[in-house]
Amino acid sequence: MYLKGRWYYAGIVSLILLAVICTSAAVAGADEGADSTFVPVYHPSVAISRSAGPIEVDGHTEDAGWRGAAKIGNFA
């Protein structure tokens, strides 16, 4: 009979725990989304205007170029 090392079994246990955690997180996330209702916009429109300054794509929206940017909601 061939016995595998303890690291093999530790890996198997880790994968099982990861699967249980991911499954429980998915189920919990599905329950939270059931309370809020999503209403899709079938014919969306957006008004676009000129920016007040240069726009930098750096994750910060405080500069002048992003201040007047159009905001879009219910995007799926």
Q: What is the mean pLDDT of each run of 10 residues along the chain (76 residues)?
A: 69 80 67 66 82 85 84 71
Phi-psi group of 59: left, alpha or beta (phi > 0 → left; psi -120 to 50 → alpha; rest → beta): left
Asked, for residue 72, whether it belongs to a domain, the answer is: no
CA distances for 58 relative to 20, 35, 54, 67, 72, angstroms = 37, 34, 12, 14, 19
Task: For residue 53, tell me if it sits in a domain.
Answer: yes
Question: What does the pLDDT read at residue 10?
Answer: 78
- Quick check: pTM over 0.75? no
Residue 67 has what pLDDT? Answer: 82
Q: Please state the domain count of the chain.
A: 1
H helices of 1-76, in order, are: 6-33, 64-67
Query: In terms of residue numbers, what domain contains 27?
Result: 6-67
